[in-house]
Amino acid sequence: MMSSNFGINNVNLSIEEIIDRKIKRVEVCLGSRCEYEDCLISALDTIEKCEANDIKYSIHLPLYVFDWYEYDYLDAFYLSKDDDLRETSFKLLEENLKRTAVMNAEYLVIHFPGINHNDTDFNDFDGFLNKSLKRVNDLAIKYDSKILLEYFGSNIMFNDYNEWIEKIPKYSNLGVLVDTGHLYFASKLVGFNFEEAFEILKKEVFAFHFWTTKGQEYYMNNKFYKRYHHIIPNINQRKADDWAFDVEEIFNQMIEENKPIIIEASNSYKGHEYFLESLDGMLNLYRERCIK
């Protein structure tokens, strides 16, 4: 079992702190707690230090955002019927791939499906979907990259996780990433059992994002998400106490899969001390499991 599969993003833990904890994997992303130029400088510095310290890293795109891009940097329009919006997403993707091609990222992560809760008026959506997937894959091939599409249940036309693992891995340079928090919200939004879905997905996906929440509502209907966004998983969090899932159980299952696990959490819930305690608890459990 690879001890370098456990990692964290660079938003709430500096690369120096990551190195001090001997964490050997990082997902580099911009975050939203600083001005864009400062966030980019921090991200590029993280990449430089990962390479200097033999730390594996992935990049959550986009890393580069331009004045002509007028939307939230994580918005995705690859499946939009609006030609201009769709082209904007593909342009942003290619501009990022040009710049990250010289880096040694193990893989890249994108948001793909966008938000569409009601519009089902598509002519041959399967053909439209496959054309968009092929175009992302062609760009990945052109720039010699592996691109993971992060599962969301936010598009009514493409929210069946079985379709995700059936369609996406057929493309040579694409894969699926399952995010535990977004999978939980999808289970509420779409209507499926979280644990049953995770049991299927864990075998098929390339990597994991790991965070949690409380309550039975999804996204901005959820008071915990509104206040704390991504809550750090803690091995003492239990579904019986209204947490999304039993953290230790799901974490152990991820460890068994021997795939990258990225903690993607804020430090808002109970403060930074709780964030570090939770992180260290998972890190210790991970290392114990890897020794066995």
Q: What would the CATH number be for the domain defined by 6-209?
A: 3.20.20.150
Mean pLDDT of 241-263: 97
CB atoms within 10 A of CB 136: 23
| Residue 78 pLDDT level (bands cut at 50, 70, 90) | very high
Q: What is the pLDDT of residue 48?
A: 98
pLDDT of residue 172: 98
Question: What are the two backbone dihedrals, phi and then psi, of residue 174, each rounded to the nearest 5 degrees?
Answer: -115, 155
Average pLDDT over every residue of 241-254:
98
Per-residue pLDDT at 32:
81
pLDDT band at 292 (very low <50, low <70, confident <90, very high): low
pLDDT at 203 over 70: yes
Assigned token pair, 277: 């305690």
Q: From residue 96, how far is each of 85, 148, 152 by CA, in Å?
A: 17, 14, 22
Q: Which of 184, 186, 253 is nearest to 213 (CA)?
A: 184
Q: Which of these, 224, 199, 136, 205, lies nearest to 172 by C-alpha position?
A: 136
Can you spell out the DSSP letters for 224-262?
A: HHHHHSSBPP-TT--GGGTBSS-HHHHHHHHHHHT--EE
Report, as an integer, the average pLDDT of 274-280: 98
Confidence of residue 217 (pLDDT cuts 50, 70, 90): confident
Domain residue extents for the chain:
6-209
* Helix or strand (DSSP H, E) at 133: helix 125-142
The predicted-structure confidence for 12-68, as pLDDT tens digits, reads as follows 999 999 999 999 999 999 988 889 999 999 999 999 999 999 999 999 999 999 999
pLDDT (mean) for 95-104: 98
Average pLDDT of span 126-154: 97
Say what the pLDDT of residue 2 is.
55
| pLDDT for res 219 | 82
CB 71 within 8 A of CB 114: no
Phi/psi at 223 (nearest 5 deg)?
Answer: -65, -30
